Structure 1
């Protein structure tokens, strides 16, 4: 299978500053870099688009906050975009419900997570959401891109066959100068936005840990926290390959993640079992014992995560390789790791 016929790509991007929009900007930047013309269309509460005269027409200017946040990716956000049979429209899963409005061109869904599809509908995985899901998965010409092996397997279980691997990559703000040893302080940081109930229960039962919830920090602030605090714990539900564990690992933290969904998939998070915990582990004292051991012997625990850190450092190379392969673009004559 190949996407080489599509020499123009248009990606619909939510107007937020989170992992999903950053991945979308990374893809647009990569495609333009390898010679495939790629534009973005911002979609949000006040950003709409209409189709007229063979063109996508943005009804309002692009969101200034998103443009500023991802300026490094040099996004192309024109007011009008001609669309024809050689154009591929890509929707992140949270906007997948829009796909039925577009025919006469290629249409794809990029599954950056699973949960966001249902969240965008205002429903969990129940009967109402399943009706929309069947409509999306039942479209015969719809192309499916997956960010994680977990998403790939989820789609396969539901009969999807036209699948393309397309991961994202950890920002070079974290990978350009990776840590060479574990961070000095035995303190902990943890995801304050996902898995907060389990995190609250765990730290209430274990007040001996100096733990900082991460919410609302800039990249620079996150990097400084990870470089100072030795351990990062993620209690989240892992609907895809979440970014914080990867950013923490290459910045100097020893990472522990919740064994759930993508977090339970070794291909997505190649960590030894020691560093993956269940809810029962968090509540029984098993996780507390593992964290204490990592605080006491950081060198051994850091060494055990070398494979994971190496994978993160090569994500950008893999991402560009995937884009070239899918769009039929020859690799450069002198391969190198763009992350370094």
Structure 2
């Protein structure tokens, strides 16, 4: 079995890193794995930060009965080009798929309520195998009448080790936040916040600078959409932050963001702003005790590299079994 994983070229966000982790895990397990970067015009498309995964890079997809092509939800249309290979879709972000599907549906002036152009992935005739990076994604796929195997990701060793070193440092009355996510509600918190609390956006920073900020911060807030298991909340927890989120997307369940209900708030509630600020105030005064309550979450994050290897094995073995079954069916036909 040959496995080709499609990845956006020169992208260093969380989704592409997960794709690199899967290729790496498959290679370690002895599978014939290869990364296909799109577009193909870069002679050295593997980002420097991901070279540690040492992916084997090829330019051409092998569309054959003994091949598998894995795409993230941003590459769904690539699956339609296949005629013989097994199609696999890895749900790294539910929202990216939904937004693109709706935009295409409107562009094609399809009637309201009709399934979008990308919904072919749920049609059994296409035989798409689904992987879910989050429980949130798994539940979404289930609601469409399909099943997804869990294939998450992990925080790489470099980040874990750096966070451990920073975790015991001196903390300041800082709340860190990502201005690209949930900024409207975060601004409400900032406007009502006591003057002694400093709010610092995570922007225009290198990975080391992000870690330094999180290492100094007592709290990290994230009121964004949570389209999958986002990395920054995990890194913040590893750096010793008290993590506070909303209940959107993957933050809405205890599988993807297992931090407990006392640290999750529904921003639609009229009392949400004072409730969140009260929790932040507690963390400013009693940070050490509250951060200790995240020890199980931190251990869960650190253990996930081994869990991901097992998930990768399960997914690849399932694909292998499916290819073998189809081969038997062809022989019997």
Residues of 2 paired with 1:90 and 1:187: CA distance?
41
Deviates more, 1:281-290 or 1:229-238: 281-290
After superposition, the C-alpha distances for 1:258-281 in whole angstroms (9 at most, x for unaligned) are 111210110111111111111137
Verify: 1:20 aligned to 2:15, yes or no. yes
Residues of 2 paired with 1:218 and 1:74: CA distance?
22
Residues of 1 paired with 2:169 and 2:236: CA distance?
11
Choose the corresponding residue for 2:280, options 285, 291, 294.
291
Residues of 1 paired with 2:309 and 2:62: CA distance?
26
Q: Which residue of 1 aligns with 2:201?
A: 213
Q: Which residue of 2 aligns with 1:142?
A: 128
Say whether the 8 Å CA contact 1:42–1:63 is kept in structure 2: no
Deviates more, 1:166-175 or 1:106-115: 166-175
Q: Which residue of 2 aligns with 1:105?
A: 85
Verify: 1:197 aligned to 2:184, yes or no. yes
With over 3 angstroms needed to count, the CA separation of the structure-2 counterparts of 1:284 and 1:62, relative to structure 1, is: same
Q: How does 1:1-340 map to 2 (within 5 A)?
A: 7-15=1-9, 16-43=11-38, 47=39, 58=40, 60-62=41-43, 64=45, 66-121=46-101, 123=103, 127=112, 130-140=115-125, 141-161=127-147, 163-176=148-161, 178-179=163-164, 181=168, 184-206=171-193, 208=195, 209-279=197-267, 280=269, 283-328=272-317
Offset of 1:328 from its aligned partner? 3.8
Residues of 2 paired with 1:312 and 1:151: CA distance?
19
Offset of 1:218 from its aligned partner? 2.2
With over 3 angstroms needed to count, the CA separation of the structure-2 counterparts of 1:42 and 1:227, relative to structure 1, is: same
Superposed CA RMSD: 2.3
Say whether the 8 Å CA contact 1:121–1:129 is kept in structure 2: no
Deviates more, 1:298-307 or 1:236-245: 298-307
Say whether the 8 Å CA contact 2:76–2:118 is kept in structure 1: no
SS across alignment from 1:80:
coil
Offset of 1:172 from its aligned partner? 1.5
Q: Which residue of 2 aligns with 1:338?
A: none
How many pairs does the alignment contain? 307
Residues of 2 paired with 1:138 and 1:314: CA distance?
36
With over 3 angstroms needed to count, the CA separation of the structure-2 counterparts of 1:129 and 1:67, relative to structure 1, is: farther
State the TM-score, normalized to the length of structure 1. Answer: 0.83
Say whether the 8 Å CA contact 1:118–1:129 is kept in structure 2: no
Q: Which protein has the bigger strand share?
A: 1
Q: Which protein has the bigger helix share?
A: 2
Residues of 2 paired with 1:221 and 1:29: CA distance?
27
SS across alignment from 2:219:
strand
Offset of 1:121 from its aligned partner? 4.6
SS across alignment from 2:211:
helix
SS across alignment from 2:116:
helix
Residues of 1 paired with 2:286 and 2:77: CA distance?
49
With over 3 angstroms needed to count, the CA separation of the structure-2 counterparts of 1:119 and 1:78, relative to structure 1, is: same
Structure 1, gaps ≥5 residues long: 1-6, 48-57, 330-340
Residues of 2 paired with 1:138 and 1:304: CA distance?
44
Offset of 1:98 from its aligned partner? 2.2
After superposition, the C-alpha distances for 1:2-44 in whole angstroms (9 at most, x for unaligned) are xxxxx3211111232211111111111111111112111222x
Moved over 4 A (4+): 124-129, 180-183
Residues of 2 paired with 1:247 and 1:230: CA distance?
13
Deviates more, 1:70-79 or 1:119-128: 119-128
